[in-house]
Chains A and B, each alone.
Chain A
Amino acid sequence: GAVVSQHPSWVICKSGTSVKIECRSLDFQATTMFWYRQFPKQSLMLMATSNEGSKATYEQGVEKDKFLINHASLTLSTLTVTSAHPEDSSFYICSALRGPHTGELFFGEGSRLTVL
């Protein structure tokens, strides 16, 4: 099956620093990728939609200047958490859309961010 890889799988950083998370589709091209956040014992919440070559679309309540998304190629999207604070600690998950018509969505393994 299709594979989507995230890196790093976990990261610990100090408050105020920025952290970049990569999402790669390994065996297919993804013109659209999605970023989610999941807090403990809660479900996934969509943060933003990332389209290759254009600006990301953010969901209501998600600060675009804090969560920078770049989708520079058909196989890579990055999420940068800028000036991270402890409340940004969460499980960040990306997904990649294989084919605009079928709507098949494949998820990365997730990246656990802990901000001290």
Chain B
Amino acid sequence: DAKTTQPPSMDCAEGRAANLPCNHSTISGNEYVYWYRQIHSQGPQYIIHGLKNNETNEMASLIITEDRKSSTLILPHATLRDTAVYYCIVRVGGVQGAQKLVFGQGTRLTINP
């Protein structure tokens, strides 16, 4: 079973920041928080991951709470192409973590013009 909880859907206006929450209250100390997204009829795309510090890359920012029980993915300036299903996944690193990847239902983010 997926160990994360995400809202099933969200809407955001184009150009605004999209903030996608994820609860992972049972996360273990050696588990990372990964975010992927899947645009319709495509394979999932890696976005970002983190352990306990906030992370930022060219796509997004990841804010992890101090107790690590929840996190927020931030798309700073959402565009129509960001419309997708976003998956928050907790996993250990390495091959074991990759094999144990469990995709929940994710959040269907719709960016509106």
The chain A residues found within 8 Å of chain B, CB to CB, are 1, 4, 6, 32, 34, 43-46, 49, 91, 93-95, 97, 100-110, 112
Which chain B residue lies CB-closest to A32? Answer: B95
The chain B residues found within 8 Å of chain A, CB to CB, are 32, 36, 41-46, 87, 91-95, 97-99, 101, 103-106
B105 contacts A93, CB within 8 Å?
no
The 8 A-B pairs at the shortest CB distance, nearest first, are namely A107-B43, A103-B93, A43-B103, A44-B103, A110-B43, A107-B44, A103-B94, A103-B97
Q: Please, how many angstroms separate the alpha-carbon atoms of A106 and B45 in the complex?
A: 7
Q: Please, how many angstroms separate the alpha-carbon atoms of A97 and B45 in the complex?
A: 13
Q: Please, how many angstroms separate the alpha-carbon atoms of A93 and B43 in the complex?
A: 6
B43 contacts A46, CB within 8 Å?
no
| Residue in B42, B98, B105, B106 whose CB lies within 8 Å of A110 | B42
Residues of A within 8 A of B104 (CB): 43
